[in-house]
Amino acid sequence: MTLYLKNLLLMIIFSMAAGFYAVPPIHADVAVFDRVTTVKTPIRITVLTKSRFFSVGGRLVDIYLNDDHLKRILTGGDGYGYLKYTPPSPGYITIKARSGSDSATGLLLVMTKNDRAIIIEVEEGFKGAVFSEEVKQSSLKAVKTLSKNYKIIYLSRYAGKSITGTWLEKQSFPESVILSWRGPETLTALKKKGIQLHAIIGSAAVISAAAKDIENRFAFEKTKDGTTVKDWGEILEHLQDEPAP
């Protein structure tokens, strides 16, 4: 099976598991992108205004952080709008964008310089959980345990934030940010924000791209650039007992 067909198949599988082929998807004319940064490190809040499948610029958008109004912005001709924000303290912040009667939410994770992050590529890391209740419970237990000592960052290569987020919520995985994978630049951008990238779980291709940035790399398939594991129990054994810095 070619890589394209494999990715397409996984996207369809996650879409079906999330229920996107069972009910019509929620229509929204504004989108908010999840972000990660560290305390007092500026972040660019990004929104997109659109009409169904096409971006629409020149729309006013009100930005709220945890229900507190921050500012009104105007999207550009490409439909994107930006707002610089410097978080004063760590934690999760809900970003809400409202344009007319349309609204959407995103998540901002603010870490301290001592926090360590574990990155999970959802499509590869949890593909076994789609088919097996036993695998799902094992992965769910592992991620919940790891989230006590690490900040979890989810990656989506092709399913997208909406499908990925719906599936994660439906399976009761810990809530956190979902970033789109854009190659090594995704990791470089996180490191520039002062984020400690402690471990990554994903496909052989993704952990290979992370070889220069992340020491602990795990895959459920054969790889020369990380550790091949058979299940989430092995990952837990590798990571849960490591001392904090």
Give, for all 245 residues of the chain, the pLDDT tens digit: 454 445 444 544 554 454 444 344 444 589 999 999 999 999 999 999 988 778 888 999 999 999 999 999 999 999 999 999 999 999 999 999 999 999 999 999 999 999 999 999 999 999 888 788 898 999 999 999 999 999 999 999 888 888 899 999 999 999 999 999 999 999 999 999 999 999 999 999 999 999 999 999 999 999 999 999 999 999 999 997 665 55
SS3 186: helix
**Using an 8 Å Cβ cutoff, are 235 and 229 in contact?**
yes
The number of beta carbons lying within 10 Å of the beta carbon of residue 141 is 13
What are the phi and psi torsion angles at 120 (to 5°)?
-125, 120
Burial-class residue 62 by CB neighbours within 10 Å (0-12, 13-18, 19+): middle
Q: Strands (DSSP E) along 75-213, which ranges?
A: 80-85, 91-99, 102-111, 116-121, 151-156, 178-180, 196-201
How many CA atoms lie within 13 Å of 9's alpha carbon, on the beta-carbon side?
Answer: 9
Q: How many residues does the chain have?
A: 245
Instruction: Considering only CA atoms, give the Rg of the chain.
Output: 18
Q: What's the pTM?
A: 0.87
Structure tokens at 212: 């220069």
